[in-house]
Copies of this chain bind each other. A is one copy, B any other.
Amino acid sequence: MPAETDPRFLRSREAILHAARELLLEKGPAAVTHAPVAERAGVGRATVYRHWPRPELLLVEAMATVPMPFFAEPTVPTRDWLRRELTAMAHQLDLDDVRAVATTLANTALWDEHMEARRAQFAGVLSERVTAALDDAQHRGELTLAIPGRNAAAALIGPLYYRSTIEHSPADPGLIESAIAALGSWSTD
C-alpha cells in the first residue's frame, strides 16, 4: 500500500473524488460505484478499491464535497418550505444508496475520525439551516416555537430517518405534517 503522501496516490485520489462528485451531480447517488467512477477517473478499478474499499465510503466523501442540498434556500411561508424540503429528504432516504450512506456515516463515525468529522459537519449544517429558518419564521410571526431551536432538526428529521433506516419503509405525508406541527403554533393553524 502506498504512503498517503505519495504524490501519485494523492493524484489518483483527487481524480477519483472528482469523478465521484461529477457522477453524483449528474446521475445521483446510485451511480457512485467502483466501476463507473474508475472509468471516468481514468484509473483501474483496483485503484478505486484501494482508496475506498466500500462504495458507500466513497459516496460519503463525494457528498461532503458538494453543497448539501437539503434546507439550502429558505422561502416563505416557512411551513410550506419545510414540507417541501422534508418531502425531498424522505424521497432521498427511500433510496437504498442514501440509506446506505446515512447508516454508514452514523456507524463508521464511531471509530473513524475522518467520518466523525463528516458526521459532525452534516449534523451541524442541517441544524444551523433549520434553526435559522425557524428563527426567521418566529420574527415574522408565522410560528411560535414550542421547543428550543436546538431540538428542531432532531424533531423534524428524526422520524424520517427512523422510518427509513430502522423501519425500512417510505415516509408518508402524515409523518412530515406531525413533525412540523410539533415545532409549535403556526399562524396558519
Contacts and interface: CB of A to CB of B under 8 A. Distances in A.
Interface of A: 96, 99-100, 103-104, 106-107, 109-110, 119-120, 122-123, 127, 146-148, 151, 153-155, 157-163, 165-168, 171-172, 174-175, 178-179, 181-183
Scoring A123, A159, A183 by chain B CB atoms within 10 A of each residue's CB, the highest score goes to A159
B178 A123 contact: no
Given A106-B107, A159-B155, A122 B175 contact: no
B175 A151 contact: yes
B182 A181 contact: yes
Label chain A's interface by main secondary structure: helix
Nearest to A171: B154
A153 B147 contact: no
24 contacts: A100-B107, A103-B106, A106-B106, A106-B107, A106-B165, A106-B166, A119-B166, A119-B168, A127-B167, A147-B175, A148-B174, A151-B178, A153-B162, A155-B175, A155-B178, A157-B162, A157-B166, A158-B158, A158-B159, A158-B160, A158-B163, A161-B162, A161-B166, A178-B182
